[in-house]
Structure 1
Amino acid sequence: MAEDNQSLGSNRTASDLFRQLEDVDVSADGSPLLRVLICCVYSVVCAAGLLGNLLVFFLLGARQERRTSRLDFFVLNLALTDFQFVLTLPFWAVDTARDFSWPFGDAMCKAVLSVTVMNMYASVFFLTAMSVIRYLALASALPHTCARSSYFSDRCACAVIWTLATVATLPTAVFSTVSHVSGENLCLLKFPGGQDWLAVYHLHKILVGFVVPVCVVSVSYVMLLRLIHTRSMKTSNPRRRSRVTKSVTIVVLSFFLCWMPNHAITLWSVLVKLNAANWDRTYYVVHTYVFPLTVCLAHANSCLNPVIYCLMRPEFRTRLKRLLHRGDTPTVSDRA
């Protein structure tokens, strides 16, 4: 069975976040309940992500708020990436419901898959940049309400992030296609170099999209917490220290826990492709039943970000309450 499936290159693993080819036939043919579950999760994440990110747009969109915070500009860009990301979920839900048979044609396959991957990278890069900015702002003893020159540099930084995300997505845009496999049309990546190039692609995704960002985010927030605990300044009072520590812990844990399972199983598949790990029953079961759930968990990060970066901040909660109860226009002063 392993040899037959490997000779096909890939059958039914379009449930992967990047619709990559896999070595085994891990179709959900025998798991209609799993497909229903995935579709339901995608629908819930899409609805929650749309509402959450639209709320962020509204809270940050008031004229009074546009120049109050450096971090807010990055939060706005993060919300934009997550908003675009969740817009692709209905396509993948339909794909899953049809047993991973893509019904939208080659052009939409390329477009939707590229948008999915680009916004995944952009979201991770903005999360990373925000962790660095929070530390630098506190380390330099600057308030978050900065001079106009900082807004120019922030916009340049955001432009660089979008450019890097676009460049990282180029292999997906070039090699994504609809392939006719085992009587089905699958939206997936098809590299001319075969499994070796696919393994390189996945390793690049793991390193650039997870390992390096996790290291930068972790180091930045550890340094931030050390600074808050040791520096004699207003932000180091016990209540403030406790709130920032809690916020930082949730940020790091949510990012790590949402993405780590997906990247770990992807790394396992890379090792199998490179013959560094054996194809066995455990691998088959994990890719059939566990891997699709890790994809759902990774998608869920896009609706968690607005909660973490806005609704956890007391200023946003206060203004949101006023908005709901009085219909006031919110004014946010970032003290994150």
Structure 2
Amino acid sequence: MTTSVPASFESSTPHANQTGAGPCPSEPTEQWVYDTVQTYILVISALGMGLNLFVLTVFCCHRKRCTVAELYLSNLAAADLLLVSFLPFWAVSAGNRFAWTFGGALCRAVNLSIVMNVYCSIYFLVLVSMDRYWALVKPLSSEKMRSAKFAKLGCVLVWGGGLLLSVPTIIYREVRDYPHLNQTYCSLFYPSPRAHLGFEGMFSAFSFIIPLPIISFCTWKILQALYNRLPNKTSNQGKDNKEHKATRLILAVLLAFLLCWVPFHLLRIIELLYRFRVLTECRLGAALGVCRQVFMNLAYFNSVLNPILYVIVGGNFRKKARELFKSSAKQTTKSSSFSSRSTIIKSLRRSVKGESG
């Protein structure tokens, strides 16, 4: 039986030979490292929950219906919110040197939320990049593909597919005691090396190798279309300007995702080669242990960075946010004014009754 123990959602148990590739000596990690990781994850969780709730509030409560791109982005915010809502449990575990004290159900739930975020985020970006491709490169032949009905169906398929691909996490994620370490860990326990290689390969394929070329192709075509339209940017300013604003936001979100997640995915491929002794250098194993923590926590940061980009880059989003909060402020003012008038009328009625009495 093999134990999968790369950091964070693959667990980070310090038991013997984390990487599983030969008798390489390992030095114990200082407690301040775990404390730093714990603080970082808690900050990411708090910021991520507040910012993504704000994004969902703007998209869902605004009087105008979401565009297709906004529908995908709101689902991306929901995937990020799912992740950061469960991260505090992992933060507590990190501060305890990744020992697990919350039981088997939360062990599976926390890691399921993280794995689903990995799958759903990348495929919502696939959908949104395809939407921008159809809008800018093939605007005349893509009306049906850019309908709200198609977008909603796409979102349902992404959530369903993310859950289906996360089934190995539900099946093989377990809490086990390690008496020689006097600790309990939440880890993946595959039934055989073949199953380990198969499921880890499936994860890398469906969360990185397959979607990345699609996103890259669409992004390249989008950039070409934007470049070709530069000389004519004064014509048809209305709709084109709106499309360009939406496209700039999408490109910013795509770039942020690639910067935050590509290092992690590349590291997982190298770790898989190291675990199955295709790579055997002990110094590489030590470097992987450090990079694992850095790159996984960089990936978590993407859930905070996305809503920040909506505010900084998303002109349409800022406009919606202003309109929503102005509308809510007016309603608050009206309700307080009505309440004040009611209070005055009641006091006048009491005074009139007192005088007549």
* TM surpasses 0.5: yes
Alpha-carbon separation, structure 2, partners of 1:159 and 1:205? 20
The residue identity in structure 2 corresponding to 1:286 is L
Alignment map for 1:252-267 (pairs within 5 Å)? 252-267=254-269
Per the alignment, residue 213 of structure 1 pairs with 211
Per the alignment, residue 113 of structure 2 pairs with 115
Alignment map for 1:35-74 (pairs within 5 Å)? 35-66=34-65, 68-74=66-72
The residue identity in structure 2 corresponding to 1:262 is F
CA shift digits 1:36-60 (9 cap, x unpaired) = 1111211121112111111111111
The residue identity in structure 2 corresponding to 1:276 is V
Q: Residues 163 and 10 (structure 1 numbering): CA distance in 2 closer, same or farther, change over 3 Å?
A: closer
Alpha-carbon separation, structure 2, partners of 1:158 and 1:249? 20
The residue identity in structure 1 corresponding to 2:278 is A
Per the alignment, residue 166 of structure 1 pairs with 163
Range with greater deviation from structure 2 (147-156 or 171-180): 147-156
Are 2:93 and 1:95 aligned?
yes
Q: Residues 152 and 249 (structure 1 numbering): CA distance in 2 closer, same or farther, change over 3 Å?
A: closer
Q: CA deviation at 1:227?
A: 1.8
Q: CA deviation at 1:273?
A: 2.0
The residue identity in structure 2 corresponding to 1:106 is G
Range with greater deviation from structure 2 (295-304 or 259-268): 259-268
CA shift digits 1:241-287 (9 cap, x unpaired) = 98678545533331122112222222122111222100402322431
**Secondary structure, counterpart of 1:190 in structure 2:** strand
**Secondary structure, counterpart of 2:147 in structure 1:** helix
**Secondary structure, counterpart of 1:103 in structure 2:** coil
The residue identity in structure 2 corresponding to 1:48 is L
Alpha-carbon separation, structure 2, partners of 1:186 and 1:80? 28
Q: Residues 300 and 26 (structure 1 numbering): CA distance in 2 closer, same or farther, change over 3 Å?
A: farther
The residue identity in structure 2 corresponding to 1:161 is V
Alpha-carbon separation, structure 2, partners of 1:149 and 1:30? 51
Q: CA deviation at 1:130?
A: 0.7
Range with greater deviation from structure 2 (78-87 or 206-215): 206-215
Alpha-carbon separation, structure 2, partners of 1:162 and 1:86? 17
The residue identity in structure 1 corresponding to 2:161 is L
Contact 2:19 2:285 in 1 (8 A): no
TM-score by length of 1: 0.82
Q: 1:269 aligns with which of 271, 283, 287?
A: 271
Point out where structure 2 has 5 or more consecutive residues left out of the alignment. Answer: 13-17, 331-357
Contact 1:228 1:236 in 2 (8 A): no
Alpha-carbon separation, structure 2, partners of 1:305 and 1:45? 12
TM-score by length of 2: 0.77
Range with greater deviation from structure 2 (92-101 or 221-230): 221-230
Contact 2:129 2:215 in 1 (8 A): yes
Alignment map for 1:1-336 (pairs within 5 Å)? 13=5, 15-19=7-11, 22-23=19-20, 29-66=28-65, 68-141=66-139, 150-181=147-178, 182-194=181-193, 196-231=194-229, 234=236, 247=249, 249-287=251-289, 289-309=290-310, 311-321=312-322
- How many residue pairs get aligned? The number is 317
Contact 2:274 2:285 in 1 (8 A): no
Q: Residues 310 and 210 (structure 1 numbering): CA distance in 2 closer, same or farther, change over 3 Å?
A: farther
The residue identity in structure 1 corresponding to 2:198 is V
Contact 1:28 1:35 in 2 (8 A): no
Contact 1:49 1:303 in 2 (8 A): yes
**Secondary structure, counterpart of 2:185 in structure 1:** strand
Contact 1:27 1:99 in 2 (8 A): no
Larger Rg: 2
Point out where structure 1 has 5 or more consecutive residues left out of the alignment. Answer: 1-7, 330-336
**Secondary structure, counterpart of 2:191 in structure 1:** coil
Alpha-carbon separation, structure 2, partners of 1:133 and 1:78? 14
Q: Residues 235 and 10 (structure 1 numbering): CA distance in 2 closer, same or farther, change over 3 Å?
A: farther
Range with greater deviation from structure 2 (216-225 or 311-320): 311-320
Contact 1:18 1:117 in 2 (8 A): no
Q: CA deviation at 1:14?
A: 6.2
Contact 2:3 2:187 in 1 (8 A): no
Contact 1:38 1:293 in 2 (8 A): no
Contact 1:14 1:187 in 2 (8 A): no
**Secondary structure, counterpart of 1:65 in structure 2:** coil
Q: CA deviation at 1:147?
A: 8.3
Q: Residues 320 and 240 (structure 1 numbering): CA distance in 2 closer, same or farther, change over 3 Å?
A: closer
Pairwise CA RMSD of aligned residues?
3.4
